[in-house]
Amino acid sequence: MDFALQAALDERALSHLYRKRLTHAGPQKPFLQVGGEPLLAFCSNDYLGLAADPQVVSALTKAAHEYGCGGGASHLVCGHSQAHHQLEEELAEFTGRERALLFSNGYMANMGVITALTHASDAIFQDKLNHASLIDGGLLSRAKFNRYPHLNYDLLEKRLMQSEANRKLVVSDGVFSMDGDTADINCLSHVCQSHNAWLMIDDAHGFGCLGENGGGVSELYGASQENVPILIGTLGKAFGTSGAFVVGSNALIETLIQFARTYIYTTSLSPAIAEATRVSLSLIQTEGWRRQQLRALIAYFKNGCQALNLPLMPSSTPIQPLHVGCSQQALKISDALRKKGMLVTAIRPPTVPDGQSRLRVTLTALHDFTHLDQLLDALSDLGSLFVEPMEREL
């Protein structure tokens, strides 16, 4: 067995696609301690800097004393605590939806929702750049599975018109995780309503960051429950904890409780995490300075990259990727930044399409302008590495 496994591993390494984990000590902060060395990190999804916020941490420890550490059982057995229940009510209110349902993580929420809502006689339509968990949910369901080109809503509409499926489910990221651009929720909602399709938006990267109150793409576009009937958020990013939620109508939530296998057959999220998340939800709403700081940092970074003529991809979110193309080259730049004391992840296939490797720079409210100056100086030194090898030889 090991021989066959090793051959596949060697092949992955040869094509510069081998993935390695990085072990760090201490909390999520702009500087991560890696092997005793502080590295300035631009790769965390802790966009608002809440993962190590003292108020969130103290809510977690207090709740651990009250509830213990683990959920103890699945929600439907005896794992549904008052902490879960209150968080669900607060999330429903925050998002202006009838009800909310917690899942243990976003991957399971997406798989569970898609498979609970669709059957063999149905069809699912997904943006080509959707997150792996949405794609996997689509593959696992027995429905007909279509993928439309990124943000191409004309083609989506044509395919919806041609479809004779019983239920039609359109699924899109709100903010695309590796590109940082956003779905046009108004357009998607209009197309779905015109063709009797249900719209599901996974706003894992938008909640907390976008909209005046951090309500994500749904708030940004003023989309109600009617416009986006199935809305997903994750708690491991801007909320700084872990887990996920689905918000929508009472009928949607009851359907998920009855039929979503990834909800039914798994241990509930730690109740202490639920209590900590209640505090981060309140900070998301009350501490608007975190979003203001993010917006200022995004503008500063974009200006800096433009001045250096760096291949910044179009995004106005904290995800600011720099296009490289070749995987080997992306790794080379990431390694060179590491030598300069900075962590920026090289994102390669299959996470992104072939030939579209990139450096995924993510910003958090805890960064400051001096951190960005350090990154921009380093990128300026490495600027020639962003040119495709063919062009460099010319």
Extract the annotated binding site for substrate.
Answer: 19, 131, 351
What are the start-end ranges of the E strands in the chain? 31-34, 37-41, 99-103, 123-127, 144-148, 168-173, 198-202, 230-234, 244-248, 319-325, 342-343, 345-347, 357-362
- Nearest position to ligand PMP, beta carbon: 106
Please give the Cα distance from 274 to 242 (Å, whole number): 9
Q: Pick between residue 131 and residue 168 the one whose CB is nearest to ligand PMP.
A: 131
Buried-exposed string 15-28: b where 16+ CB fall within 10 A, e elsewhere: ebbeeeeeebeeeb
**What token pair was written down for 294?**
């993010």
Q: Residues annotated as binding site?
A: 19, 106-107, 131, 177, 205, 234, 351
Q: Pick between residue 244 and residue 297 the one whose CB is nearest to ligand PMP.
A: 244
Please give the Cα distance from 99 to 255 (Å, whole number): 12
Please give the Cα distance from 218 to 237 (Å, whole number): 17
Closest approach, Cβ 202 to ligand PMP, in A, equals 5
Report phi then psi at 223, rounded to 5.
Answer: -85, 125
**CB atoms closer than 10 angstroms to residue 80:** 18
Closest approach, Cβ 307 to ligand PMP, in A, equals 30
Closest approach, Cβ 75 to ligand PMP, in A, equals 17
Closest approach, Cβ 43 to ligand PMP, in A, equals 12
Closest approach, Cβ 106 to ligand PMP, in A, equals 2
Please give the Cα distance from 179 to 358 (Å, whole number): 9
Q: Pick between residue 221 and residue 239 the one whose CB is nearest to ligand PMP.
A: 239
Q: Pick between residue 106 and residue 325 the one whose CB is nearest to ligand PMP.
A: 106
Cβ atoms of 185 and 174 within 8 Å: the answer is: yes
Beta bridge partners of 346: 359
Provide the greatest CA pair distance for the chain: 67
Q: Pick between residue 277 and residue 329 the one whose CB is nearest to ligand PMP.
A: 277
Closest approach, Cβ 130 to ligand PMP, in A, equals 8
Nearest to 276 by CA among 130, 65, 31: 65
Which secondary-structure segment (H or E) carries 199? strand 198-202
Q: Pick between residue 246 and residue 379 the one whose CB is nearest to ligand PMP.
A: 246
Q: What is the DSSP letter of 234?
A: E
Q: Which residues bind ligand PMP (CB under 6 A)?
A: 105-107, 110, 131, 133, 173, 177, 202, 204-205, 234, 236, 244
For residue 176, the number of C-alpha atoms closer than 13 Å in the C-beta half-sphere is 24
Which secondary-structure segment (H or E) carries 359? strand 357-362
Closest approach, Cβ 38 to ligand PMP, in A, equals 25
What strands, in cross-sheet order, belong to the sheet with 319-325?
319-325, 357-362, 345-347
**What token pair was written down for 73?**
């059982």
Q: Pick between residue 106 and residue 271 the one whose CB is nearest to ligand PMP.
A: 106
Q: Pick between residue 53 and residue 202 the one whose CB is nearest to ligand PMP.
A: 202
Closest approach, Cβ 200 to ligand PMP, in A, equals 11
Q: Residues annotated as binding site for pyridoxal 5'-phosphate?
A: 106-107, 177, 205, 234
